């Protein structure tokens, strides 16, 4: 269905997003959208430009095309992206694990904050995926969310961005940080990460391994080295999201310590089923 024909869905979905703010004025101010123009969108008098759609979608960690989903589907999708407590916490056995490690919450507090996350891509061999991760505390548990962004040619000389958001929790067992998450858009994937803590405050780098399922047509299980670089104590901002992308393995923006650890040649990612 074309965007023009799906205008009613867009209007409904924009109204739902605006309702999560104190007012329409607050919504427009935070997203930096003209209020008078936004009122025309809500009245179905104008279709937002691609630039405005991208700005709104980026604020909510989704793609512009997601704004045109059928209203019922969009509500379920948006609530899955926006909620603070991940679906994983709905599993009683995982809750038991979290409760049993609650005594370690204080030890994990020094790792709370915003990080750039680097690992050898399971999709584009030989390249590095830089994403952003925010680790935080809620109701005595250490949770986190990660946003990945992939640039793709749109066929018209421009670039489209595909993003994925992971929700998860951290536990400290022995001298290791274990991170378990699920992908909130496709909702069909779990990822596991094990990190070795640094005994310094604040920790600038964390190194470890990530294991998951590749987002390719073959859906192979994979494992690769991963590294985190601390950016600050607050949740990530748009400037961090814009920096999330695919990089060449020798890109100068990757810290030299992380480049040396990842060693991202084409054999850096181990796929299940390969000899």
Structural tokens at position 95 = 């809750």
Does the pTM exceed 0.85? no
- Which residue from 196, 200, 220, 224 is spatially nearest to 210, judged by alpha carbons? 224
Cα dist. 162→62, 151, 219, 222 in Å?
Answer: 8, 7, 18, 21
d(C-alpha 118, C-alpha 114), whole Å: 13
CATH 1.10.260.40 residue spans of the chain: 4-82
CA distance 128 to 119: 6
CATH 2.40.128 residue ranges for the chain: 87-271
pLDDT tens for residues 33-59?
999 999 999 999 989 999 999 888 877
pLDDT for the residue 275: 46
- HSE value, Cβ hemisphere, 13 Å, CA-based, for 218: 9
Q: Are 183 and 177 within 8 A, CB to CB? A: no
Task: Calculate the CA dihedral of residues 254, 257, 260, 264 and round it to 10 degrees.
Answer: -30
Write the pLDDT tens digit of every residue in 66-95. Answer: 899 888 888 777 665 444 444 565 666 666
Enumerate long-range contacts of 156-163, CB under 8 Å, 24 or more apart: 161/63, 162/63, 163/61, 163/62, 163/63, 163/244
Reported as a single tens digit per residue, the pLDDT across 156-210 is 566 667 778 888 889 888 889 999 988 876 666 778 999 997 776 667 899 999 9
Domain 87-271: CATH architecture, name and number where available: Beta Barrel (2.40)
Q: Which CATH number fits domain 4-82: 1.10.10.10, 1.10.260.40, 3.10.150.10, 3.10.20.30?
A: 1.10.260.40
């Amino acid at each position: 269905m074309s965007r023009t024909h799906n205008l009613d869905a867009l209007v409904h979905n924009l109204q739902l997003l605006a309702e999560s703010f104190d007012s329409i004025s607050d919504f427009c101010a935070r997203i930096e959208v003209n209020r008078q123009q936004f009122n025309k969108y809500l009245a179905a008098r104008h279709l937002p430009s691609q630039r405005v759609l991208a700005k709104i979608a980026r604020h909510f960690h989704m793609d512009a095309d997601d704004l045109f989903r059928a209203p019922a589907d969009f509500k379920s999708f948006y609530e899955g992206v926006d909620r603070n407590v991940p679906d994983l916490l709905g599993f009683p056995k995982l809750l038991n694990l979290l409760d049993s490690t609650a005594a370690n919450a204080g030890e994990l507090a020094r790792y709370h904050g915003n990080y750039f996350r680097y690992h050898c891509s399971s999709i584009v061999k030989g390249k590095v995926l830089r994403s952003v991760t925010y680790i935080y505390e809620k109701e005595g548990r250490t949770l986190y969310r990660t946003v990945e962004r992939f640039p793709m040619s749109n066929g018209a000389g421009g670039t489209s961005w595909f993003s994925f958001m992971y929700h998860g929790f951290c536990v400290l067992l022995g001298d290791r940080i274990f991170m378990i998450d699920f992908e909130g858009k496709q909702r069909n994937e779990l990822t596991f990460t094990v990190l070795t803590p640094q005994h310094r405050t604040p920790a600038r780098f964390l190194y470890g391994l990530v294991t998951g399922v590749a987002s390719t047509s073959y859906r192979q299980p994979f494992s690769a080295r991963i590294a985190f670089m601390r950016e600050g104590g607050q949740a990530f901002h748009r400037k961090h999201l814009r920096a999330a992308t695919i990089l060449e393995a020798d890109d100068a923006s990757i810290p030299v310590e992380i480049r040396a650890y990842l060693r991202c040649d084409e054999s850096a990612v181990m796929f299940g089923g390969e000899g």
